[in-house]
Chain A
Amino acid sequence: MHLGPVIVLDPGHGGTDTGARGAAGIAEKDIVLQFARALRAELERLGYRVAMTRNDDSNPSYDDRAALGNAYRDAVFVSLHVSSTGRIGTARTYYYQVPAAAPAPSGGSSSPITWEDAQRPYIETSRRLANLVQIELSHRFAGSPNAPTPVAVRSLRSVGAPAVAVEVSSVAASDPVAVTSLVGPLANSVARGVAAFHPITPVATGLP
Chain B
Amino acid sequence: MPRNLKIALGILIVAVVVGLISLRGLQRRMTGLAESQSSDEEARREVLAPEISTSSDAKVETKIYWAAGEDRVAPTTVALALSSEPAVRGKQVLQALIANPTTAEQRTIPGDTALLGFYILPDGTAIADFSMPLSAETPSGIESEQVVVDSISRTLESNVPTARRLKILINGQEVDTLAGHVDLTGFFDLNSTSAPLPVATPSTQAAPPGAPATAKAPKPASTSAPAATAPKSPR
Contacts and interface: CB of A to CB of B under 8 A. Distances in A.
Interface string B115-144: 000000001010000000000000111111
B47 to A, nearest CB: 26
Contacts, number: 114
Contacts of B233: 101, 104, 109
A77 interface: no
Nearest to A103: B123
B181 A154 contact: yes
Give the interface SS of chain A, mostly helix, strand, loop or mixed: loop
Interface stretch (B23-31, B77-85, B184-192): B184-192
A16 to B, nearest CB: 12
B235 interface: yes
Given A100-B189, A151-B142, A86 B71 contact: yes
Interface stretch (A67-75, A111-119, A183-191): A111-119
B140 A152 contact: no
Interface residues of A, number: 41
Interface string A80-117: 01111110000010100001111110011101011011
A152 B182 CA distance: 6
Interface stretch (A17-25, A44-52, A126-134): A17-25
A62 B182 contact: no
Given A99-B189, A100-B192, A151-B182, A92 B235 contact: no
B89 to A, nearest CB: 22
Nearest to A62: B176
B205 to A, nearest CB: 9
B6 interface: no
B183 A81 contact: no
Interface of B: 70-71, 123, 125, 139-144, 146-147, 149, 164-165, 176-177, 180-183, 185-189, 192, 199, 228-229, 231-235
Given A20-B180, A102-B165, 20 more contacts: A12-B180, A13-B180, A81-B181, A84-B144, A85-B139, A85-B144, A92-B142, A92-B143, A99-B186, A100-B187, A101-B231, A101-B235, A102-B186, A103-B229, A116-B186, A152-B183, A152-B188, A153-B181, A167-B143, A169-B143
14 contacts: A12-B181, A20-B180, A83-B144, A84-B144, A85-B139, A101-B231, A104-B234, A104-B235, A109-B228, A109-B233, A117-B235, A149-B146, A157-B185, A167-B142
